[in-house]
Structure 1
Amino acid sequence: MTDTLTLLLQRLDEQKPRYHDLEMYYAGTQPLSFLAPEAREALGSRFARISSNLPRLAITALTERLRPIGFDGVDVWADWLRCDMDELSRTAHREALLLGQSYLICWTDSYGRPLVTVESAHQMTALRDPGTRRLTYAIKRWETATTTEAIVYGPEVITRYRANSTGATTAGFKTVDEIANPLGVVPVVRLLNSDRILDEGVSEIEDLIPLVDALNKLLADILVSSENAARPRRFATGIELEEVPVLDEDGEETGETESVNPFPESDKMMISENDSSRFGQLDAADLTGYERAVDVITQQISAVSGLPAHMLGITHDNPASADALRAAESSLTARAEARQAQFGRSWEDLARLIVGVRDGADPQQVDVRVEWADPSTRSEAQAADAVTKLFGAGLLPASYALKRLGYTDEQVAEIRAARRAEALDAQAIDLTRLVS
C-alpha cells in the first residue's frame, strides 16, 4: 500500500503547474504574451492585466447545456436532490471541462444515507486498470492548520494517512485509520473530459490559449495606439524654443539650460506673436487594421470552441430569428451532446454507488441510464408545439411528452397526480369517502 500511496501522491503533484496555468486563463489573470521586451518596458504595469475572458465563456456555455434530469432503471432522484447534485453537478462539469477531470465520492452520512461530494482535481487523482479502464485506487489530499491529510480509496479498504506538517508531498505520512469497504469497488467516480482512449483528461480551453493570447495582444495594441497616436498630433513652425534652466535632484539650478516647446501638450490654444509662425495638425492613427485583425482571431476562436458569433460579441443590425440562432449554435450543441455521452457513464456509475450504499446491492449488478435535458436552444412555444403535435397524433404518451418538455420525473409524477385529482373532482367523487 505504501508504493500505491507514493504513486498516487506523485500523480497528484505532477499536474499542479498545468492546473495553475489553466486556472489563470479561466480567471483572466494570465500575463500578456507576444509582447516585445521594449514594449513591455515602456508600458510598465498599465496593461499587464488586460484580458478578454473567452475561456470562461467557452466553459460556461457548455456547462449550461449539461443538465441531468433523471435516471432510468433505479429510483435515486430523491438521494440526488438531497445531496444537492442538481446544483453541484454543474460544478463537477465545470471542473472537468477546465482541468480535464473532476471527482465524485459516494459514501454514507451520519444517518447511514448515501452522501455524494464533488471534488477538484487539485486534491484528487486516481489509478485505473489498463484492461477494464475502471478505477483501482483513488486519493484525496488536503491540508489543515498543522497537518496534511490523505485518504486512499480502494476496492476493499479505505485508509486514512496523516503527515504532521503542512505542504507534505510524498514523505512523512503515517496510517491513522482503516475501514472496510463493503461495496467491493472504489467509491469514487471520475468525470473525464477526453475523446481519446489513453488521455487522462484534456482541458476544454487548451486549444483556445494561443488564440486568446493573440486577441489580448491586439487589444493591448489598440489601447496603446489610442493612447499615443489616436489623438491628433499638433505642430508649429517658425517659433523659437524657450530656454529653461536644468535642475538637479534637489531642485537647484545647475547653470545649464535646455530648449523646450513653449506650448505644453495640455494647452487647448496656442498663440504666437511671430508673423512667420504656422500651426497644423497631423491625421489621427487609423485603428481599422486592428479591428480586422481582431475579427480574424475571433473567427478562429469561434471555429475552435464552437461558440457562435453572437456569443462572441459579433452582432448585426437585424436581430437573428429563433431558427437562425438554433442553426448558429449547432456546433456548440453537438459538442454538448458529445460531452453528455462521455459524462453520462460517470453519472450512471454514481447512481450505481448510491444504490449500493443505500440498499447494500452490488453496484456492478445495477442497470441504470441517465437522462439529459435537451442541450439545444429552442423557444418554449416551438417545443410545446412540436410535443403537442406528436402527442395529438398518438406517437407519444403523456408522461414522455412531459419529459420532452424538460420536466423531471418528480414533476411528471406531481402533474399526473394533479390531473387525476382534477378528473375525480370533475366527476364529483369524494376521495375521503371512498377511502373510508
Structure 2
Amino acid sequence: MKLDEPQARYAELDAYYTGMQALSFLSPEARTALGGRFGRMASNIPRLAVTALAERLRITGFSDPGLWADWVRNDMDQLAGVAHREALQLGDAFVIVWADQSGRPKVTIESAKQVAAQTDPGTRRIMAAVKRWETKTTTEAVWYGPDRIVRYRADQTGATIHGFRAVEELVNPLGEVPVVAIRNTGRILEDRGASELDDLMPLVDGLNKTLADMLVASEYTARPRRWATGIELVEDPVLDAAGNETGETVEVNPIPEGARAMISENETAKFGQLPGADLSGYETAVKVLLGQIEAVSTLPSHYLGVLSDQPASADALRAAEASLTARAEARQATFGRAWEQVAKLMVAIGTGRDPQLIDDIRVQWADASTRSVAQESDAVVKLFAAGLLPRDYALQRLGYSDDVIASMTSSSSAGPRALDYFNPAKGMPNVF
C-alpha cells in the first residue's frame, strides 16, 4: 500500500532529525570493547539544516487580501512553518481544506506518515487521497475523491488494508480533491519528495564517528598515563559472592590511579609519565567533514560553529548566506504553487466558486535574505519617496502582514496616515 511503503524511510529520517540515529562506521571489535559504556554521540546538523531553511519560508499574505482573515483564523500564520519543516524533513507534507460547521474554510496540516495521494501522470493533479490514523480501539481512514468523500473504520488497531467498512459518505461539491501536497522536489517524475537530509546522512554519520573516536581517544590516550618500575605488585584475595576468601589471589597496582603522590621505599623504584595523544588530527578530520556538509547543505560556516571563519560585516554575512538564501527562494517557488492551490480551495469554499476557475491568487513571501531592519527600512523609504513603490507593497517589503497593513490603513483617519511613516521630511518613527 502506498501509505505503508515509505514508513521505514520516514522512521530513519525521524531518527536523524532528532539525533537518535545509530553510530555508523564502528567496527565490531570497537563495539565489543566499548560495550555499554559509551553514550549517544550525535551532532544534530540535520535538524539545523531543516530549521535554517524553514525559518526563511515565511508567508506574509496573498494577492487577495480577504484570504488573510481565514488564514489567521486557522492558525496558518504559525502552522504553515510546520508544513514547511515536515516537507523539508520527510519530502512531503499535506494540507486538507474543507468547511467547518459554519461553512467557513477549515485548513489542517497533515503528515506524510498518515496521508498518501494518487496523482494523474498527465496533469500531475491529485486524483484521490487517503488519510489513516488510529484511536485507542479502532483504525480510522478517510478517502478523498473529486466527487465524494468516504470515511472507513476498522474495529482494531494496526489495520492497513483489510477489515475496513464504510461508516459515512459525503458529497464533494468542490469537484476537486480537497488535499494538496507540499512536495520538496524540483524534478518532474518524482513520485515522492526528496528530504533535505538525504545527502547529509552519510556525512553526518562520518562526523559523529570522528567525534566519537576523539572522545574515546581523549579518555584512554589523551590523558597522560603514569608508569612505575621496581615496585612489587600487591596480591589481594579473591572473594566469593558471600564475601569469603576463595584461596585465590589477584595482583593489583600498589599505587591507586587517583593518587597524587607516588611513594616507594624501594631505592630502585623509578617513576615516569607517557606523553598524551595529540588530538589535532581529529580536528582536521572534523573540519574536512564540516566543509563537505557546508557544500551539500548550503549552511554557512558560522551556522556550524566554525568560529575562525566569522563574517566581518553585514555585507560579508549576506554573502556567506547567499547559497542558503537562493535555496530558500527556490523552495518558495516550489511550495508557493501548493499554497496557491490551498488558497483557491479556501476561496471556493467561502464563495461557492469553482476552484478550477480561480487563477488570480498569488502567495507573498517575506524576503529570504538576511537584512537588518535599518537597511531594509532605508531602502524602502528611498524607493517609496522616489515613487517607485506603492505604499502597501512598501509595507509588505518591511514584513508587515495583510491584517496589520489593513489596520494601519483603517486607522489613518484617527492618527498619522500610513503614508506619513514613509515621509522623509517628518523623520522615521520608533517602529523602524
Please give the TM-score of this superposition, normalised by the length of structure 1: 0.92
Partners of 1:352 and 1:258 in 2: CA distance: 81
Kept in 1, the 8 Å contact 2:184–2:331? The answer is yes
- In the alignment, what sits opposite 1:364? 356
Q: How many residues align?
A: 415
Residues 273-299 of structure 1: CA distance to partner in whole angstroms, max 9, x if unpaired? Answer: 111111111111111111111111111
Correspondences of 1:14-413 after superposition (within 5 Å): 14-73=5-64, 75-199=66-190, 200-316=192-308, 320-367=312-359, 368-413=361-406
Higher mean displacement: 257-266 or 268-277: 257-266
* Counterpart residue type for residue 60 of structure 1: T
CA distance in 1, matches of 2:106, 2:341: 14
- Asked if structure 2 preserves the Cα contact closer than 8 Å seen for 1:32 and 1:48, the reply is no
Counterpart Cα distance in 1 of 2:238 and 2:414: 95
CA shift, 1:73, in A, is: 4.1
Q: Distance in 1 between matches of 2:172 and 2:39?
A: 51
Shift of 1:143: 0.8
Structure 2 residues without counterparts, runs of 5 or longer: 418-432
Do the aligned partners of 1:31 and 1:48 also contact (CA within 8 Å) in 2?
no
Using the TM superposition, give the Cα deviation of residue 252 of structure 1 relative to its aligned residue in structure 2, in angstroms. Answer: 3.3
CA distance in 1, matches of 2:310, 2:10: 42
Decide whether the 8 Å contact of 1:302 with 1:309 is kept in 2: yes
SS class of match (1:142): strand
Residue 431 of structure 1 is matched in structure 2 by none
Q: Partners in 2 of 1:82 and 1:183 — Cα distance?
A: 21
- Secondary structure of the residue aligned to 2:271 is strand
How far apart are residue 423 of structure 1 and its match? 6.0
Partner of 2:430: none
Code of the residue aligned with 1:381 in structure 2: it is: A
What is the aligned-residue RMSD (CA, Å)?
1.5
Secondary structure at the counterpart of residue 411 of structure 2 = helix
8 Å CA contact 2:146, 2:174 repeated in 1: yes
- Return the offset for 1:246: 3.6
User: What TM-score, normalized to structure 2?
Assistant: 0.93
User: Residues of 2 paired with 1:258 and 1:151: CA distance?
Assistant: 70
In structure 2, how many angstroms separate the alpha carbons of the residues matched to 1:14 and 1:92? 21
2:302 and 2:310 in contact (8 A); partners too? no
Shift in CA distance, 112/272, structure 1 to aligned 2, threshold 3 Å: same
Q: Identity over aligned residues, as a percent?
A: 62
Paired AA for residue 365 in structure 2: W
Q: Is the 8 A contact 1:25 1:55 kept in 2?
A: yes
Shift of 1:248: 4.1
After superposition, the Cα gap between the structure-2 partners of 1:189 and 1:318, relative to the gap in structure 1 and judged at 3 Å, is closer
Q: Amino acid of the residue matched to residue 106 of structure 1?
A: V
Q: Look up the equivalent residue of 1:275 and give its one-letter code.
A: E
SS, match of residue 4 in structure 2: helix
Give the SS at the match of 2:3. helix
**How far did 1:74 drift?**
6.2
CA distance in 1, matches of 2:89, 2:220: 38
- Kept in 1, the 8 Å contact 2:224–2:276? The answer is yes
Deviations 1:364-405 (A, max 9, x none): 111211110001101001101111111122211222211111
Contact residue 144 and residue 166 of structure 1 kept, 8 A: yes
Structure 1 residues 415 and 224, CA gap change in structure 2 (3 angstroms): same
How far apart are 1:227 and its partner, in Å?
1.1
